[in-house]
Amino acid sequence: MTGSRQAFNPVIAGLAAISALFFIFPLTGLVTRAPWSSMTKVISSSASLDALWLTLIASLATTALALIFGFPLAWLLARVQFRGKALVRGLTTLPMVLPPVVGGIALLLAYGRRGLLGEPLYSATGFSLPFTTPGVIVAESFVAMPFFVITLESGLRSMNTRLEDAARSLGASRLTVFRRVTLPLIWPSLLAGTVLAWSRAVGEFGATITFAGNLPGVTQTAPLAIYISQSSGKIDEAIALSLVLVVVSLAVMIGTRNRSRRA
């Protein structure tokens, strides 16, 4: 495909350059101000390693939960007609536009020790989600899963379901149809939704700190550690951890982009 070549427009080019630089400068700032000489020492401090490790574990668990529970939800929204569907879609994707800290408060009121569900759970088992690592995963899921659901739903919706009819008429069982026709066709949106949810979970701050608190080693993820370091004057630590997140995010974005193009 060859696009029509447009004449060079200095106004558009100028605005586009400003826009691009707006994003490039902060990253440059991170790189130039990074404490390169003490980098390994800062990152390998046990507090930083704990935060990075927790971020990894919690974000992967969130992604797994999104796949397990978000897939059926997306399927229902895309394929099944039922009353109140618009309402269900609206409520389950609301966290995308909700300030995360509001999500954290709402989570406390539902799953906190005195919450709607949290109170009976606590009195029955003595377990309560806030200030635990599972609490971090719950907070991240609340914020990140809608991104997965909405991306997958649009993928399922844009797929021609008559291809599944064709596969069944060729003798394929429902499972085979799913594996060999549906899955390959929705693969790009499945991958995109997974990456979106994962990266949103990695960066989650507001809901996590509100619902799960900031306990080093238990609920303090990298974004929380960065914020605490920054506000307590340990700027080198904040920059070093930030750089790690930038590099990992960049690698994932580039890697999945190539893969979804090939699919």
Partner 1 sequence: MVSARAGEVVALLGPNGAGKSTILRALAGLLRLDGGKVELDGTVLEEPARHTRVAPEKRPVGLMFQDYLLFPHLSAVENVAFGLRARGVDKRVARERAAAALERLGVAKVAGARPGNMSGGQQQRVAMARAMVTEPKLLLLDEPLAALDVSTKTDVRRQLRAALRESRAANVMVTHDLLDAVALADRMFVIEDGGIAQSGTPAEVTARPKSRYVADLVGVNLVRGTARGTALELDGGGRLVTAEELSGQVLAVIAPHDVSVTRDHPEQAASAANVWPGQVGAVDLMGDRVRVRVDGTPTITAEVTPAAVDALNLDAGGQLWASVEPSAIRPYPP
Binding site for partner 1 (CB under 8 A): 160, 162-163, 165-173, 176, 180-181, 184-185, 263
Nearer to partner 1, 185 or 195 (CB): 185
**Residue 183 to residues 164, 176, 197, Cα–Cα distance (Å):** 11, 10, 19
Between 5 and 162, CB nearer to partner 1: 162
Question: What is the distance between the alpha carbons of residues 83 and 80, in angstroms, rounded to a whole number?
Answer: 10
Distance from C-alpha of 17 to C-alpha of 77, rounded to nearest angstrom: 40
Nearer to partner 1, 170 or 235 (CB): 170
Residue 32 or residue 160: which is nearer to partner 1 going by CB?
Answer: 160
First CA to last CA across the chain, in angstroms?
Answer: 19
Looking at this protein, which amino acid is placed at residue 103? Answer: G
Which is closer to partner 1, CB of 122 or CB of 187? 187
Confirm if 48 and 240 have CB atoms less than 8 A apart. yes
> Could you tell me if 221 and 60 are in contact, meaning their C-beta atoms sit under 8 angstroms apart?
no
Q: Which is nearer to partner 1, 190 or 207 (CB)?
A: 190
- List Cβ neighbours of 221 (8 Å cut-off, separation of 6 or more): 51, 54, 55, 58, 136, 204, 208
CA distance 1 to 11: 27
| Structural element, H or E, at residue 103 | helix 100-111
Q: Which of 126, 117, 136, 100 is nearest to 214 (CA)?
A: 136
* Contact by Cβ (8 Å): 52, 244: yes
Shortest distance, CB of residue 192 to partner 1, whole angstroms?
16
Please report how close the Cβ of residue 238 comes to partner 1 at its closest, in angstroms: 45
Minimum Å gap between C-beta 101 and partner 1 is 43
Cβ closest to partner 1, residue 152 vs residue 243: 152
- Minimum distance from CB of 163 to partner 1 (Å)? 6
Minimum CB separation from partner 1 for residue 178, in Å? 12
Instruction: Give me the least distance between CB of 197 and partner 1, in Å please.
Output: 24
Q: Closest approach of Cβ 112 to partner 1, in Å?
A: 46
